[in-house]
Structures are given as C-alpha cells and as structure tokens.
Amino acid sequence: MPVNIEGVHSIYLNILMGYTGLSTIITLVTYITDAFMTIPLYTNTVTIIVVLVLLPFLYTGVFLLPIYLYERFFSNAQARLHSKLAKFQFPRIKIPAFEEL
C-alpha cells in the first residue's frame, strides 16, 4: 500500500501566497499615506506617490523583455548549440521547458 507523504509547506502555501499579496498592497497604502502626512502638499508629493505606486510595475517591466526574448529564441539557440556539439560527438541534451521544472 503506497503512502502519500506531503510536505509541511503544502498546507500553508496558499495562505502564505495570499498574505504576501495582501501585505504588499497594505505596505503601498501605508507608504502613500505616510508620504501625504510627512511631506507638505506644495512639494513634489504627487511625484513620490506615483513613483511608489509604479515602482513594482517598473521592476517587472525591466525583466519582461529579456524573458520574452529568451523564450522566443530559445529553440533557435538550442539548435545552434546542438549542431556545434555534434561536431565533437556530444550526445543531444534535452533541456526541459520552464513549465516542466
């Protein structure tokens, strides 16, 4: 009779992921309210708030283009690599897709 053993983390994984998303939103709201309370309104408060709100999206955008280009040209790069390795009689290496990892 096979026994299925689950890791301890599997029970709390969804709770932790939900907490992470919720805490990010709460932290952004806290930073925005603190910016309004500590900085006078006649300064560049709006610019600071816009930067705080858009910063996570900017960081995501920085990594978006390289990941897209990697996935788009991966098969071509893999074919070129295998053709060069075949000259030295190396066996073909099956690289798993990202979803298979």
Q: Provide the token pair at 29.
A: 């709201």
54-80 pLDDT per residue, tens:
887 888 888 888 888 888 888 888 888
What's the pTM? 0.38
How many angstroms separate the most distant Cα atoms in the chain?
Answer: 72
Query: Across all residues in the chain, what is the average pLDDT?
Result: 77
23-57 pLDDT per residue, tens:
888 887 888 788 777 777 666 767 777 777 788 78
Decide: 53 and 28 in contact? Cβ < 8 Å. Answer: yes
Q: What is the pLDDT of residue 41?
A: 66
Q: Provide the token pair at 33.
A: 């309210």
